[in-house]
Amino acid sequence: MDHLLSFGHLAAPLALIQSAAVKKGPMLVMHPIDIAVLVVYLLFVVGIGIVTGRGQKTSEDFFLSGRSIPSWITGLAFISANLGALEVMGMSQQGYEYGMMTANFYWVGAIPAMVFMGVAMMPFFYGSKVRSVPEFLKKRYNEGTRFINAITFAVFTPAISGISMYALALVLQDFLGWHFTPSVIVSALVVLVYTFLGGLTASIYNEVLQFFLIVFGIAPMTIIALIANHGWSHFKQWLHTHQLPYLVPQAVAAGSKIAAATTHAVATTHAAATRTVSSMVHTGSAAAVAVKAKATAAVVQLPATQWLHTWKHTISGNNPMHITWPGVVLGLGFVLSFSYWCTNFLVVQRALAAKDMNAAQNTPLLATFPKMLFPFIVILPGVLAIPLIPHLYPGNAMVGGHHVSPTQTFNNVMPLMMAKYYPAGLLGLGLTALMASFMSGMAGNVTAFNTVFTYDLYAVFIRPNAPDRHYLNVGRVMTFVGIIVSVLFAYVVRGESGIMGYTQTIFGVVNAPLIAVFLLGMFTTFTTPIGGFVGLLVGTGTSVSLWILRLHKGFPLYHHYNNNTTAAFWSALWAFCAGAAATIIASLLSNKKASDQLVGLVYQLTPKPDSTNVPFWRRPIVLGVLALVGALILNLLFW
């Protein structure tokens, strides 16, 4: 008979759970070689800031690296800019919670959009010589459209940086015993030094360093976890003989009890990133979970083999993520992915730093190949950890009357695996890779923030036509401001149970409404300046409204979605539809720009890049087709 598992994935005796809930103190002891690896890294990143900052004389040098970097560097930076806390910590967390369905963020939610970005959209961004995404919106539409995008980006980008800072400080606190506040301050100071001195160039070269650190510091975990599970075949056999917990939203009345089918104690569950089960009842040889009104959800069991599939169970929605295929295809695969990879200035900025048009187009295309393999580095260890580290819970869960220790939460599955399996030396490399991912995430967001604020807000609405040197100085000041705001937001998200869901919510608010306005503006001539402004305003308003409606338990959508990830998919789709509809309607009722004003901004009116003199293997269309074929093969393998 299949084994039934609790939301700790392997139910434990009540006494063991209670001891885990109150456990304090560092779990990792760094050896001298581990400390040496970390110190060398910190000195190296500061050195990069000093070296790259020497030749910077103009604002374009500081904000866009003088548009002089080769495509292989910008390609690695393009992918590494997304390798922050979201990827390394968040994806391993979701691998543990949802299994290989999380790979949809890559094979559906990244690769197609990155191909589209390189083949279809980079000619507009790079060819028009814009310095930012909001500036493109100004050229295609008007100043009002630019302002909406610039202000939302400037507000929320430091928030993403704050999440990286929070995740780093949390790891240092919970696993090394370092205090949260000094950890935040030290990481902020290191990032401040090298971004203040070297700007985007320092950020890009540190992102390349971070890429290799993650490969060599995190990838061994997949191999070690496979060995600990006695190989892939044995792990699959384990899954075939076990069942894992799953929530059916609003399936039971408040206060009802669901008895476990084994003699083990059932641990805890969650209805969403912030909804927890608040009591646990031990009943002799069995156990029950008391589900309060805040988390009206029934615990059922799914075959553990579902944690290895990406698509197989999305028709019924009977899967760990509780989502159907339209949400994956439309919400993630279309709206969220295209809005992030095609309009998020954090990644677009890396392509704008390329030395020529071909390098700019190939930046996202070259990045697709390592990107499609990253699930095996950051997600698969989380999946493989299910039988290896069983007693993990949501971050705000209460077990036996005690809050679960942060070292026993989904968020920390990756450092927990390192603590259990990495030897001295490799542990230092792994922790340095984690630190690199967090700090690079901070730096990437801060450099994007200072560029947008300086070029699209300060230079337009506060002090236009100032000397270039003045804008360079403002950019450095805003680097400092961005770091301060990030530190403050690190305290705002402190204690949240799912950093991935939190980040997806922010992306949905900022980017989802934008892609509708971009696609209509780039591929139609009838879209008007008023249409773009109204569409972005309505789309952003819809996204914010949907977020507010599920914010607290008394609000209408609080119980509607099973988790923040599902909510982000569907909210993005509705925001896109609202923004697209508003753009079309307002455009039909207003005057469009003359055709000569749209050259270089609209597909039909813009000369296409000539790649006949480019070697066959460097042509964007060739790289794009190869990337799509690779993603399709991986989808089929984990169907």
Q: Which pLDDT belongs to residue 315?
A: 75
Is the model more confident about 244 or about 546?
A: 546
Q: What is the 3-state secondary structure (H, E, C) of 242-301?
A: EEEEEEEECCCCCCCEEECCCCCCCCCCEEECCEECCEEEEECCEEEEECCHHHCEEEEE
pLDDT at 27 over 70: no
Q: What is the mean pLDDT of residues 318-347?
A: 78
Q: What is the mean pLDDT of residues 447-451?
A: 91
Backbone phi and psi for residue 165, each to the nearest 5 degrees, phi listed first:
-65, -40
- What pLDDT digit, counting tens, does each position of 538-575 carry? 998 888 888 777 766 656 665 566 566 667 777 788 88
Is the model more confident about 621 or about 316?
A: 621
Q: What is the mean pLDDT of residues 153-159?
A: 85
Q: Does the model's pTM come out above 0.85? A: no
What CA–CA distance (Å, rounded) separates 385 from 404?
19
- What pLDDT digit, counting tens, does each position of 266-305 carry? 333 333 333 333 222 222 222 223 233 334 445 556 555 6
Residue whose C-alpha is closest to residue 142's, from 453, 529, 517, 538: 529
Q: Would you say 299 and 246 are in contact if contact means Cβ atoms under 8 Å apart? A: yes
Backbone phi and psi for residue 392, each to the nearest 5 degrees, phi listed first:
-115, 145
Q: What is the mean pLDDT of residues 25-43?
A: 82
pLDDT at 261 over 50: no
Tell me the residue ranges of DSSP E strands in 395-482: 398-399, 402-403
Longest dimension (CA), the chain: 79
Q: Which pLDDT belongs to residue 85?
A: 60
Residue 403, helix vs strand vs coil: strand
Q: Which pLDDT belongs to residue 476?
A: 93
pLDDT band at 254; cut points 50, 70, 90: very low
Is the model more confident about 536 or about 407?
A: 536
Q: Which residues pair with 289 in a beta bridge?
A: 258, 280
pLDDT at 55 over 90: no
pLDDT band at 425; cut points 50, 70, 90: confident
Q: Which pLDDT belongs to residue 52?
A: 86
Of all residues in the chain, the percent with pLDDT exceeding 70 is 77
Q: What is the mean pLDDT of residues 593-611?
A: 85
What CA–CA distance (Å, rounded) separates 60 from 63?
5
What CA–CA distance (Å, rounded) separates 205 from 213?
13
* DSSP character at residue 607: P
Going from the N-terminus, what domains does the chain have, and what CATH number goes with each? 3-235+307-500+608-637 (1.20.1730.10)
pLDDT band at 13; cut points 50, 70, 90: very low
pLDDT at 132 over 50: yes
- What pLDDT digit, counting tens, does each position of 172-207 carry? 777 778 888 888 888 889 889 989 988 888 888 888
Q: What is the 3-state secondary structure (H, E, C) of 458-486?
A: HHHHHCCCCCHHHHHHHHHHHHHHHHHHH
Spatial neighbors of 72 by CB under 8 A, at least 6 apart, are 366
252's tokens:
């039971």
Q: Would you say 45 and 459 are in contact if contact means Cβ atoms under 8 Å apart? A: no
What CA–CA distance (Å, rounded) separates 30 from 25?
14
Is the model more confident about 179 or about 588?
A: 588
- What pLDDT digit, counting tens, does each position of 373-418 carry? 999 998 899 889 888 887 777 666 666 666 667 667 777 888 888 8
pLDDT at 145 over 90: yes
Q: Would you say 447 and 481 are in contact if contact means Cβ atoms under 8 Å apart? A: no
Q: Among 82-86, 192-196, 431-435, whose mean pLDDT is lowest?
A: 82-86
Q: Mean pLDDT over all residues of the chain? A: 77
